[in-house]
Amino acid sequence: MKRKIIFILLIVVFSSIELADKFYVFVDGLNMRSCPSVNCSVVKTLHFKDVVESVGKAEYTPSFDWIETEEGWVALQYIDYLPMKINGNLPVDFDMNYSEFPLPPEYEPDDLVEIPEEYCIKSGLKLRKEAKEALIQMLNAAKKDGFDIAVASAYRNWFYQRNLYLSAIKEHGPDQTAVAKPGRSEHQLGLAVDLARKDKECLLLKCFKDTPEYKWLVENSYKFGFIQPYLKYNILYMEEPWHFRYVGKEDAKEFYETYIKGNDALQY
């Protein structure tokens, strides 16, 4: 797997582009408008899993990218392509960020297992079996070196992610980069964890980057098959020093040697 981490800002200006014939709407109560602007009249309200057809036109405005349907304009921020059907589990190196399709709402790995409570900040957290076993090995190794690291979040289903996304939109606006859209979260793969100090200091905050626990993870997580995909300057989300994703030892080592080793400025 070759992960595409690009440390530059990209600006895409739409004029007229070809789009998929159909897409599905995943945010309840989304408004379809008469023209590509939030100031235009609402012609229809769409709901979860509504499917509408594009006429192949898109238009850029300062606030949103819009695509035109036979019935009106929809802000691209709130739609996605129809999900592919997934049978069984995806490979552990599956790159959610650059997949053509989002994960469908019904997707759930069939080998999810519970992470022992002693390794977690709260009970009931789950991961895929392979990732869970690697995680426990990593946390045990950290503890042996004097660092007490725990899991704050692990597998999240599509509907839980939707609630987080809607809350983030409400609090920070549609251009927020803190929470992935439902169907676009690595947590739904059952391979991602949010890690923290066991005492909860700097829990899910950027100051976790200043802790010795984080520095240990940077230097050692790849040995157990984990990477930190959302480094500083990535173009997808805000920097998340607490977010680690299992991809397997081979790919994690490649990621470490490409983006981490010798690049301390990206981390500290």
> What is the average pLDDT score of the chain?
86
Spatial distance between the Cα atoms of 185 and 156, rounded to a whole number of angstroms: 8
Q: What pLDDT score was predicted for residue 85?
A: 66
The tens digit of pLDDT for each residue in 220-259 reads: 999 999 999 999 888 899 999 999 999 999 999 999 999 9
Together in a domain, 115 and 248? yes
Together in a domain, 69 and 177? no
Together in a domain, 198 and 235? yes
Together in a domain, 121 and 183? yes
Say if CB 47 and CB 25 are below 8 A apart. yes
The domain tally of the chain equals: 2
Together in a domain, 171 and 41? no
Together in a domain, 101 and 62? no
- Please give the C-alpha separations between residue 101 and each of 75, 133, 170, 202, in angstroms, as whole numbers: 18, 28, 25, 34
Per the structure, the complete domain to which residue 35 belongs is given by: 22-81
Residue 6 lies in a domain: no
CATH number at residue 151: 3.30.1380.10
Q: How confident is the model at residue 15 (pLDDT cuts 50, 70, 90)?
A: very low
Together in a domain, 108 and 74? no
Together in a domain, 45 and 141? no
Q: Count CB neighbours of 12 within 10 A.
A: 7
Together in a domain, 164 and 203? yes
Together in a domain, 70 and 189? no
Report which of 86, 162, 91, 158 is spatially closest to residue 128, judged by C-alpha positions. Answer: 91
Together in a domain, 75 and 126? no
Residues catalogued as catalytic: 240
